[in-house]
Structure 1
Amino acid sequence: MDVGSRIRYFRKLYNKTLKEISLDTGLSISFISNIEKGIKKCSLENLEVICSAIGITLSEFFNDNLPPEIEELISIAKNLENDKLKTLLTVARSLKAEQKESK
């Protein structure tokens, strides 16, 4: 797994700019960019603060078993207000029940 590519992937998925990550972490834009490009190594400590700034956990960062659609859905859900999140959950449960009935 290429750590820099994963950082870039999640940063873009969560619509975060290098500047935003830099401001939230205290790391320079060029340092983060160089990590993404594979020029610089990323310590676990820096990775943890970068993930936090993106809005993901280290566990989410290292879990590469989820399809991109699920990761996008999680990204969207994390940014919803509570009432909208409940609506999304209701829709998802309804779709799940509908799928069970059709089998």
Structure 2
Amino acid sequence: MNYGQRIKFFRNTVGISANALAKKIGLDPTTIYKIEANDSKPSLGSLESICAALGISLAEFFAEEEQAWGPEIQRLLGTVKKLSPEQIDYLQKLLESLSKE
């Protein structure tokens, strides 16, 4: 598994910069850049902190299906994760109505 690509994928999905992520979890920004460039691997503790800051679980981090999604879907997923259950229901109905056209 490419840890760096996965972190960058989820970071871009959420819409947070590497600097902002590093600041949020108390790491030096160069550490995030090194991890994303595969020059370094995160410790388990750092990976847990990164996942928490990105709003994902370790299980989600290690799931591979999202890698096949394009940037448009990644961006949508990042937005959907921020919605309330009621908003998600509304969005589902909207998408269903759009797909019928």
- The alignment's TM-score, normalised by the length of structure 1, stands at 0.76
What's 1:76 paired with? 79
Matched pairs, number: 95
**Higher Rg of the two aligned structures:** 1
Residues in 2 aligned to 1:59 and 1:89: alpha-carbon distance in whole angstroms: 25
What's 1:37 paired with? 37
What's 2:10 paired with? 10
Residues in 2 aligned to 1:65 and 1:9: alpha-carbon distance in whole angstroms: 12
Residue 43 of structure 1 aligns with an amino acid whose one-letter code is: S
Q: Provide structure 2 residue ranges, at least 5 long, that are not aligned to the other structure.
A: none
Q: How far 1:43 moved relative to its partner?
A: 1.1
Residue 81 of structure 2 aligns with an amino acid whose one-letter code is: K
**1:19 and 2:22 correspond:** no
Task: Name the % identity.
Answer: 32
Q: Provide structure 1 residue ranges, at least 5 long, that are not aligned to the other structure.
A: 99-103
Residues in 1 aligned to 2:22 and 2:91: alpha-carbon distance in whole angstroms: 32
What's 2:91 paired with? 88
Residues in 2 aligned to 1:82 and 1:9: alpha-carbon distance in whole angstroms: 24
Assess if the C-alpha contact under 8 Å between 2:18 and 2:33 holds in 1.
Answer: yes
Structure ranking higher on relative contact order (CA contacts 8 Å, 6+ apart): 2
